[in-house]
Structure 1
Amino acid sequence: MAIVYARSERRTRCAKQGMFEMQTIVCMKWGTRYPAEYTNRLWSMIKRNTTRPTRLVCFTDDGNGISEDVIVQPLPSINLPERVMWLPWRKLSMWQAPLADLSGDVLYLDLDVVITGSLDPFFDYKPGSFCVAENWTQPGSGIGNTSIYRWHVGQHTNIFEQFNADPETVLRNYRIEQQYISALVDEMQFWPSEWCVSFKHTLMPKWPMNFFKSVPLPEGTKVVAFTGKPDPDEAEIGKWPVSSPWKRLYKHVKPTPWITEHWR
């Protein structure tokens, strides 16, 4: 059952009455990797980096500990095989319609991003289009990275419908969900490259300089995505968890002060 808190409900009702144009940002939280604090920090960063009325809707299987100013909704239903039940394939459920009370252009943010600049331009850029970060490991390949994207609710519902009807065929043909989405969207627009960067693939100094130089934050950056490891809380203190000792020879990050400044 959805949990919708009073203050957020009043804000949404005012927007529907035309008192102002509400910007909607959504995130998803499932499983145990990211605690409620990640959602709360995301909301805090959103508030500091928007000048217009903005709400955050969190789709989750556990709303405990999430700020009362965040609108909490249950995870949308989707036909997921057990082996991918808690993987990013679950994000495909965002493409169904109707979806809660969402309408128009909606911005999606992963929980493990750090917001370092204004989010308002993400709502002004090519309105009505599907906009996404170009995947940093596949430049020029027409693949979006769904750490941060904006879609128009009710468009491209075939992304959800095809997967929901036959997930096994999709899983055989595509390695990850963002490749599948990129293949089905005819007109995909990439954000300006300086807006959205990858901590690991864009900013990290190349080996061996990552042992000597801290990760910089270029001017103009608005969102930093933390794909894989390290997570923001780990990179902040200079920790990069590794699964085997030999990876310590090249997987290293120095403490990153700008994360402390922005990720709060």
Structure 2
Amino acid sequence: MQTVVCMKWGTRYPALYVNRLWSMIKRHTTRPTRLVCFTDDAEGVDDAVATFPLPEIKIADDIAYTPWRKLSLWQAPLADLSGDVLFLDLDIVITGHLDAMFDFKPGTFCACENWTQMGQGIGNTSVFRWHVGKNTHIFNEFESKGEAIRKKYGIEQVYISDVVDKMVFWPHEWCVSFKHTLVPTWPLNFFRTPPLPEGTKIVAFTGKPDPDEAAIGKWPLSTPWKRIYKYARPTPWIDEHWC
């Protein structure tokens, strides 16, 4: 049984995102696969998805519901999980077969090479695979020295990349970023639709826009003047896959 894990907290991503993730996983796996969702609110989540409460972690209130909470996954035991487990953020679109992500470098921590820090040895945790019970020091040390770790690293994926025993990046064509990989550079982004390259398995929508927004060409911005250069044309292939 292959296990995929996601986390849902707060209100930004409703149950719809979990259910669509499950739908995409089923279409893109041939082996028996289950989805486990750690959440503070399981209402509306498909009954076929296994739900568990958010794992306990000692964490400051102001980062309690940020990606730092993902560090809770590095504890053991963890629910009923064992072996290699694939984690997927909710704001991703699956466009290719996933079984190979369980076969790639078994037993090793695998992550995307962070698209804004190429060549710096930093993994992006939108899509990663870890072995439950290995590298539990990532969780234990954060619980004992959380504030110092936060000040030193700033972002949880930088911390993980520095202290994990070994990290291997997914093949670059497997996992791409919508805004950092696919959106054409300015000013071509105003005239060309973001493409979907052959061989892509997962498209990550870090920050904004989310998949439903990118599909219709909406890019919410906190600073209006950034519209001068931050724009993506409506992208029909998102709706073809994010369902």
TM superposition shift of 1:186: 2.7
The alignment yields a C-alpha RMSD, in angstroms, of 0.6
TM superposition shift of 1:194: 0.3
Aligned to 1:259: 238
TM superposition shift of 1:175: 1.2
Pick aligned residue for 2:145 from 166, 179, 188: 166
TM superposition shift of 1:45: 0.2
Matches within 5 A, 1:17-166: 22-166=1-145
TM superposition shift of 1:199: 0.4
Is 1:194–2:173 an aligned residue pair?
Answer: yes
TM superposition shift of 1:83: 1.1
| CA-to-aligned-CA distance 1:92-126 (integer Å, 9 cap, x gap) | 00000000000000000000000000000000001
Q: Provide the C-alpha distance between the structure 1 equivalents of 2:145 and 2:152, rounded to a whole number of angstroms.
A: 12
TM superposition shift of 1:244: 1.9
Q: Once the two structures are aligned, what percentage of the paired residues are identical?
A: 70
What amino acid is aligned across from residue 56 of structure 2 in structure 1?
Answer: S
What amino acid is aligned across from residue 33 of structure 1 in structure 2?
Answer: R
Aligned to 1:225: 204
8 Å CA contact retained: 2:135, 2:165:
no
Q: Provide the C-alpha distance between the structure 2 equivalents of 1:150 and 1:85, rounded to a whole number of angstroms.
A: 22
TM superposition shift of 1:165: 1.2
Q: Provide the C-alpha distance between the structure 1 equivalents of 2:223 and 2:134, rounded to a whole number of angstroms.
A: 44
Gaps of 5+ in 1: 1-21
TM-score (normalizing by structure 2):
0.99
SS for the counterpart of 2:194 is: coil
Aligned to 1:185: 164
TM-score (normalizing by structure 1):
0.91
Tell me the number of residue pairs that the alignment of Structure 1 and Structure 2 aligns.
Answer: 243
Matches within 5 A, 1:231-246: 231-246=210-225
SS for the counterpart of 1:166 is: helix
Runs of 4+ aligned residues of structure 1 deviating over 2 Å after TM superposition are none
| CA-to-aligned-CA distance 1:224-251 (integer Å, 9 cap, x gap) | 0000000001000100001122111111
Q: Provide the C-alpha distance between the structure 2 equivalents of 1:71 and 1:201, rounded to a whole number of angstroms.
A: 32
Q: Provide the C-alpha distance between the structure 1 equivalents of 2:222 and 2:106, rounded to a whole number of angstroms.
A: 43
SS for the counterpart of 2:124 is: strand
TM superposition shift of 1:253: 1.1
Q: Provide the C-alpha distance between the structure 1 equivalents of 2:223 and 2:82, rounded to a whole number of angstroms.
A: 46
| CA-to-aligned-CA distance 1:11-69 (integer Å, 9 cap, x gap) | xxxxxxxxxxx000000000111000000000000000000000000000000000000
